[in-house]
Structure formats: C-alpha cells, structure tokens
Amino acid sequence: MTTMAVLRKSDDVADEGESLIDRIAALSRTELTPIALAIDEGEIYPAEALRHLGEAGAWSAHADLRDTIAGISAIGETCGATAFMAWCQNTLVWYILNSENAALKVRFLSNAASGKLLGGTGLSNPMKSFFGIEKLKLKGRRTDGGYIVRGALPWVSNLGPDHMFGTIFELEDGSGDKVMFLVDCADPNVTLTPCKPFLAMDGTGTYAVQLRDVFIPDDQVLAAPAMPFVKKIRAGFILMQNGMGLGLIRDCVAIMQSVRPSLEHVNCFLPKQPEDFAALLGELEAETMQLAATPYDSSNAYWRRVVELRLRIGDASVAAAHAAMLHCGARGYLKSHRAQRRLRESYFVAIVTPATKQLRKMLADNAREYPGDQG
C-alpha cells in the first residue's frame, strides 16, 4: 500500500457526513468521558478506545499535521492522559511515515496508522542528551542484518506486550553515530516494568523498558544516521504536543464558565477570567496551526518559533488549570471534580520532554546547537 493510501485527510471522512475532528470529539465524549477518572487513577489503560480512535482516522491524519493536532486537542478536552497517549501514537506514526526505510514502512505504517499497532516514543533521553542534560542510555553495535542494542529507559508510555516505540541508540564503535529504530515490546529480550504510581497520567501504559542485547533487524531501523532524521521530525514531534495543551486549556475555559452562574459575584474579583484564556487559546491555536502547515521548514527562525510556542503552551496550560481551580473553589477541590485532574494534567504538559526548563535552556543556547544541526 502506498503512503498516501494509508493516510487520510479530514475531507475523506467529511464525505461520510462528519468531519474527522467531529468524529474524534464524539468518540472522546462517548468512550472516554465515562472512564477518564479510572484512567486518571491508573485503573484503566484505554486500549479499546485508542483502537476505535484509530479506526476513526485519528492516527492517520498526518497528510496535514493540523488535523492530527486538532484531533489530539479534541481528545485532550476530555482526558489529558489519553491526549498524551494520542500524541505517543501519532509520534510513532510520524516516525514511520518520515522514514526512508521502505521495508519498515511496508511492515508497520498501515498497522500503526489504523491503530492495529499501538505504541509510542522513547525520545526523552535522546532529546535531553542532545542538549547535554544527560547521557544517551542505549548503546548498540552492528551485526549481520541489523544491530544488537542494550540499555534501559526509565519511562516510555502507551506500551503493552504487543506494542512498539521509536528511540535512539549510540554506536559503541567510538564514532558517536546514532541510529533511530523501533523497539518491539514482544521481543523476549525486552522487559517492561510498571512504574510507581504517578500524580496524573497513570493510565497511560507507562513502563521502564530494559533492552538486553536485543537484535534490531534492518527493517526496524527508522534512520541511520539518526541526526538528519531528528532534524526532519523534531518540529512535528513538538507541535503535536501542543494539541495536549490546547485541549486542556479549552476545557479549563469551559470549567470556569460552568461556575459563572452561581459564583460570578465573587469570581469577578479573580485576576484571570475565562475570556482571557479563551483569547490566549485562540492565539496559541492560530500560531500552532500556522507552524504546523510547514513542519519540514528547516530554518532556525522557524525552529525557534516552535520552541517558544511550546514553552508558552506549557505555561498557559498550568495557568489555565490554576485559574480553573480558583474559579471552582471547594467543588473543584473534590476528587470527583475534573478541575483538580486538569491541574495535575497541566503540569505534565510543562514537564514532558522537552520540559519547561529544557525549552528555556534551548532558547538560551545558540540556535545552531539544536538537535540535528550536527548532522
């Protein structure tokens, strides 16, 4: 099957009477709303909902990245944890789609884009290593027909026994060369260890992953060398994260508006009103969509705008969830109320790689040092 046949545009689904985003939003409301609390508490990993979202086209809209982001945002309006898993899944598809390895695409693209194959990304450690924040944790060596890889990653999400994820290892031959590849969680030499419970994002299928001399066949290699590929996929990787924040902020506006009828007489004294966040949301969304129209722009000016916007969306997510808590008062403090879930989810937008501190470091560093510029 060709790449374009696998990918869909929102118009394809619009012909069926409903836009792709409407369909994703409807599925989120019907399938995720009832289980959002259980996902938050780590009782459910929503594999079935993720597969249904895949069938609806949520993981195959990369022909226009704006559709992908709008889809993640629609999911994020209901459940931040599932929006994160949506980002993980879309990132997996984004890697496969952009790979020049034809055999890899034949093997994985259609299944990942349809949601038959679920998975994610283990790029936090590589992304931090490119900025001198920590050392690359996976090492590998060339062998007949592929590579042998070992090492461990502390957190990788949207995983399960038959899932896959993309990450990067460094060759042990002293060259410093890096290879980006897919890990198959079903491999007997791959171990998934559940993480200790998280404050939020607990139902996201997040595991510590250990690779014990795992054979990676050539048709699981996304890119060798990895760095030019990282440069190609980096803007899309970050812009898709914006969908998580945009959906969350939209729901925080809705939360603030929902308590207005009973609390306006006192909430009007709060410094930030829902209209402030609605206006900010409009601005952040417009900038996201403008940048997402050209995800392969390789200029430093473009990359800087991507990084600045991602930082603003992390800050705005925390600010909107904080304001939603203040507007709700005691009712938002109940465990059963989503305002407190939104607050906990919002911190994740600000700490998932690239975290606020890393984004600030990236902006402080010389623009030439961004990952991929070496390659």
Judged by CB under 6 A, the number of residues near ligand FAD is: 21
Q: What is the DSSP string of 189-234?
A: TEEEEEPPPPSS-TTS--EEEEEEEEEEEGGGEEESS-HHHHHHHH
- Nearer to ligand FAD by Cβ, of 35 and 123: the residue is 123
Which residues in 188-227 contact ligand FAD (CB under 6 A)? 198, 201, 204, 206
- Nearer to ligand FAD by Cβ, of 75 and 156: the residue is 156
Q: Which member of 178, 358, 359, 362 binds ligand FAD (CB under 6 A)?
A: 358
Mask of contacts with ligand FAD, 75-104, x by CB under 6 A?
-------------x----------------
Minimum CB separation of residue 122 from ligand FAD in Å reads: 4
In 3D space, the residue among 322, 157, 188 whose CA is nearest the CA of residue 255 turns out to be: 322
Distances (CA, A) of 195 to 44, 58, 83, 190, 202: 15, 27, 20, 16, 9
Minimum CB separation of residue 155 from ligand FAD in Å reads: 4
**121 CB-near residues (< 8 Å, 6+ apart):** 88, 91, 92, 95, 156, 165, 166, 167, 237
Q: Which member of 83, 256, 328, 355 binds ligand FAD (CB under 6 A)?
A: 355
- Nearer to ligand FAD by Cβ, of 205 and 274: the residue is 205
- Nearer to ligand FAD by Cβ, of 131 and 215: the residue is 131
Region near ligand FAD per CB under 6 A, out of 12-20, 116-124, 223-231, 248-256: 116-124
- Nearer to ligand FAD by Cβ, of 10 and 124: the residue is 124
Please check whether residue 370 is in contact with residue 310, taking contact to mean a CB–CB distance below 8 angstroms: no
As beta bridge partners, residue 92 has none
**285 CB-near residues (< 8 Å, 6+ apart):** 73, 246
Residue nearest to ligand FAD (CB): 124
d(CA 193, CA 371): 29
Region near ligand FAD per CB under 6 A, out of 152-160, 287-295, 312-320, 332-340: 152-160
Please check whether residue 248 is in contact with residue 280, taking contact to mean a CB–CB distance below 8 angstroms: no
Minimum CB separation of residue 220 from ligand FAD in Å reads: 18
Please check whether residue 285 is in contact with residue 311, taking contact to mean a CB–CB distance below 8 angstroms: no
Helix (H, G, I), strand (E, B) or coil at 327: helix
3-state secondary structure 342-364: HHHHHHHHHHCCCCHHHHHHHHH
The answer to whether 123 contacts ligand FAD (rule: CB under 6 A) is yes
Minimum CB separation of residue 304 from ligand FAD in Å reads: 20
- Nearer to ligand FAD by Cβ, of 134 and 173: the residue is 134
**135 CB-near residues (< 8 Å, 6+ apart):** 129
Mask of contacts with ligand FAD, 242-281, x by CB under 6 A?
----------------------------------------
In this structure, is the dihedral angle defined by the CA atoms of residues 2, 7, 10 and 12, taken in order, positive or negative? positive
Cβ count within 10 A of residue 114: 17
Region near ligand FAD per CB under 6 A, out of 2-10, 15-23, 150-158, 177-185: 150-158
Minimum CB separation of residue 312 from ligand FAD in Å reads: 18
- Nearer to ligand FAD by Cβ, of 123 and 325: the residue is 123
- Nearer to ligand FAD by Cβ, of 88 and 118: the residue is 88
Please check whether residue 341 is in contact with residue 201, taking contact to mean a CB–CB distance below 8 angstroms: no
Which residues in 156-185 contact ligand FAD (CB under 6 A)? 156-157
Binding site for ligand FAD (CB under 6 A): 88, 120-124, 128, 134, 154-157, 198, 201, 204, 206, 351-353, 355, 358
